[in-house]
């Protein structure tokens, strides 16, 4: 039997996960497990996908002119 835990996420993250569901009854566990597998994949398309996600988060966290050069990289 699997053990479970509670994970706390921001509301916007939860909404993003909900949009990634392939069908309404798919669990968040399944969505997250798929994202984990994608992250482990050597496929360059997935690397680009995660890079774009990281750029948005870094812009949100830093949002200053010194870091804008990183965004154009």
Please give the full DSSP string across 9-25, using - where no structure is assigned.
--HHHHHHHHHH-SSTT
Is residue 55 classed exposed, middle or buried when 0-12, 13-18 and 19+ CB atoms within 10 A define those classes? middle
What average pLDDT does the segment 15-23 reach? 91
Residue whose C-alpha is closest to residue 52's, from 73, 31, 66: 73
The predicted model scores a pTM of 0.56
Nearest to 59 by CA among 49, 72, 46, 47: 72
Same domain, 35 and 53: no
pLDDT of residue 26: 94
Residues 33 and 11 in one domain: yes
34 in the same domain as 12 = yes
Same domain for 2 and 33: yes
Say yes or no: 49 and 16 in one domain: no
Q: Are residues 36 and 47 in the same domain?
A: no
Q: Are 50 and 65 in a shared domain?
A: yes
- Neighbour-count burial for 26-53, b at 16+ CB within 10 Å, e otherwise: eeeeebeeeeeeeeeeeeeeeeeeeeee
Minimum mean pLDDT among 17-21, 32-36, 66-70: which range? 66-70
CATH number of residue 20's parent domain = 1.10.1220
Range of the domain at 54: 42-73
Q: Which residue has the higher pLDDT, 39 or 12?
A: 12
The model's pLDDT over 36-63, given as tens digits with 9 standing for 90+, comes to 887 787 766 667 777 777 776 777 677 6
């Amino acid at each position: 039997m699997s053990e479970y835990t509670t994970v706390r996420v921001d509301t916007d993250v939860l909404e993003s996960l909900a949009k990634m569901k392939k069908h309404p009854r798919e669990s968040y566990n399944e969505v997250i497990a798929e994202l984990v597998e994608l992250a482990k994949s050597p496929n360059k398309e997935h690397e680009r996908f995660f890079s774009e996600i990281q750029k948005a988060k870094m812009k949100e966290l830093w949002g200053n002119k010194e870091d804008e050069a990183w965004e154009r990289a």
